[in-house]
Amino acid sequence: MKTKERIGVFICHCGTNIAGKIDIKNLIQKNSGKENLFFFDYPYFCSQLGQAFIKEKINQLNLTRIVVAACSPSLHEKTFQKVAQEAGINPYLISCANIREQCSWVTLDKEKATEKAEKIIFSHINRVMYQQPLFVKEVEIVPRVLIIGGGIAGIEAALKIANAGKEVYLVEKEPSIGGHMAKLDKTFPTLDCASCILTPKMAQVRENKNIKLLTYSEVEEVSGFVGNFNVKIRKKARSVNLLKCTGCGSCIEKCPVKVDSEFDMGLSKRKAIYIPFPQAVPNAPVIDRENCLWFTKNKCGVCKKICPFSAIDYDMEDEITLEKFGAIIVAIGFSLFNPELIYQYGYKRFPNVFTSLEIERLLSSTGPTLGEIILRNGEIPKEVAIIHCVGSRDENYKSYCSAICCLYSLKFSYLIKERTKAKIYNFYIDLRLTRKGGEDFYNRVLEEGVEFIRGKPAKIEMQKNGKLVIECEDTLLGKIRKIPVDMVILSPAICPGKDTLSLAKILGLSLSSDGFFQERHPKLAPVSTMVEGIYIAGCCQGPKDIPETVAQAGLAAAEVISLIDKKKIEISPIVAELKEDYCSGCGVCIELCPYNALEYDSQKNKAKLTPEKCFGCGVCVSACFGGALSLKNYREEEILAQIEGIL
């Protein structure tokens, strides 16, 4: 033990919480007089007076290190670090001995509790001798925000942050922003028109000077850390110069190629040069190079000839943007479960089995049928079945509840009944109408005469006359029923977006067991992630409706604004340290590091550590054979000394 250190040991009574079990007086008496150790006790060290007492003793006795034996360090370690700092001791030269949660509160016998407390206190005295002063580093935060995904969540967050005067890059992989909400007709339960509430927001994004919109673009690489992310964005070649194009549409008119429209879920055709939907932002076409005759057969070129503004550029190449960002919001939305996997429901085998998104397009006044609900042969259906929970709440596919299907199925029931007067059957397991106004909406739909059958259909068969017969056990009647209908609507599970996994890898985010992004805390940090400075919003975090998505986007924006307005961020000094001389270059640590903080330096044949990327888990340290790596504040010496003291 080094002798020049003077250690103050402050034992808290915590009222009777500690003093009631542990004989503090005896403990101090027994150990007083030990060289360089100064024991004190006090009813509550966390109180203002208690803190002043510690400071006074530090100054009076020139203490150099302190041990506070009190409650769990999770509660007051920060408090006592601050006290130490104010009294002139480095905050990392204190150690908190947990003698309440892990001693007085869990031990019945007083004598044993006192004995254990003594061991715990001495383990921290041992440890604090080896602790080293550490300094919190401050790093400036780049006042620019990256938002990945231009659906309602991304749009909402972008507008909030841009309106607070911050620079935002909004990256969307499709040619237009809008996301799934742009495809919807009406929204439940108020039945307001989705595009009437969405398109003004899209226009605001276009007009806002603080937002840089990168459509038809994808994030390829992300490195760095909170406040300083380095991001590589690929802007795919649109083949149309956005600065010259006015969106007149004459090129689209003349294009000879017709393919299925993705926006209309394949229910209509689009050209090879196209604007995804009328309200698209940016309102400029894009050339689909996979289907365009110029790119596939090197002929045609009619769009270039016809364009009055010579905006068509066949030679356009992908553009790479490298930019620094202070924070990132991920809002990449969801994908729909593919009902083809449930063979017995006949999706794609029977023409009049539709998914919910297809019905949204049919209901839409800008959709392929201009809002008419018709069968593939053009007839109006007389009987329509809506099947809930297709692939969700199903052990064979997705076990979770998709949260929104009950209410949108009710919405379909109402709208289709209104437009076609058809008889409507809902096949449900449970109706989960937890959203505001949900129950009233259900009653309204019931009054319209919509029928509800509690049971999951076993199969759907098509008769020769085209009628689809649904076989189902009506669990309320306790009978097997066969119901013939003209049209079947499947409400498929909300699944993680297609890019979720690849983006999780790029960003270093973790996924929950159902494949959505994992939030830091389900209740108190619902949009934060385990990676500092990266936030999530909307359906990429889990199935949810529009109001909840907007609320999350708002929270993510608030988190980002409060982060950026701090201007500087403190970086925890508890990171790994590499002594190059001891490194043999075996590379074991490189494989283990979850944050790529360790790389192989092929010139020196040694590991290379980037401390800014290190989160301080210490997995590499305990794997290093040569003792080249150590973790500050949890160095081998510190823990070994603690082990010696506690046993």
Which chain residues interact with another protein by CB under 8 A?
72-74, 98, 100-103, 105-109, 112-113, 115-116, 119-120, 123, 508, 510, 512-513, 530, 574, 592, 594, 615-619, 621-623, 631, 634, 636, 639-640, 642-644, 646-647
Which residue, 284 or 631, is less far from another protein as judged by CB? Answer: 631
Q: Which amino acid is at 642?
A: Q
Which residue, 127 or 361, is less far from another protein as judged by CB? Answer: 127
Q: Is the dihedral of CA 265, 267, 268, 272 positive or negative?
A: positive
Which residue, 510 or 605, is less far from another protein as judged by CB? Answer: 510
Which residue, 243 or 647, is less far from another protein as judged by CB? Answer: 647
Which structure tokens are listed for 254?
Answer: 């003349």
* Smallest distance from another protein to CB 518, Å: 8
**Closest to 151 (Cα-Cα) out of 74, 215, 208, 103:** 215
* Smallest distance from another protein to CB 571, Å: 15
What are the Cα distances from residue 106, in Å, to 18, 22, 116? 11, 12, 11
Task: Give the whole-angstrom CA distance, residue 510 versus residue 508.
Answer: 7
* Smallest distance from another protein to CB 119, Å: 6
Is residue 247 exposed (0-12), middle (13-18) or buried (19+ Cβ within 10 Å)?
A: middle
Residues whose CB is less than 8 angstroms from the CB of residue 421 and which lie 6 or more positions away in sequence, other chains included: none
| Four-point Cα dihedral 593, 598, 603, 604, nearest 10 | -90
* Smallest distance from another protein to CB 577, Å: 14
* Smallest distance from another protein to CB 40, Å: 23
Which residue, 103 or 537, is less far from another protein as judged by CB? Answer: 103
Angle between helices 110-130 and 636-646 (to 10 degrees): 160
Does residue 177 contact residue 169 with C-beta atoms inside 8 Å? no
* Smallest distance from another protein to CB 335, Å: 22
What are the Cα distances from residue 257, in Å, to 152, 306, 350, 388, 626? 31, 15, 27, 37, 65
Q: Residue 326's CB: how many other CB atoms inside 10 A?
A: 24
* Smallest distance from another protein to CB 394, Å: 22
* Smallest distance from another protein to CB 287, Å: 41
* Smallest distance from another protein to CB 592, Å: 6
Strands 217-225 and 211-214: unpaired
Region of 481 on the Ramachandran plot (φ > 0 left; ψ -120 to 50 alpha; else beta)? beta
Which residue, 97 or 194, is less far from another protein as judged by CB? Answer: 97
Which residue, 287 or 571, is less far from another protein as judged by CB? Answer: 571
Strands 65-70 and 94-98: parallel
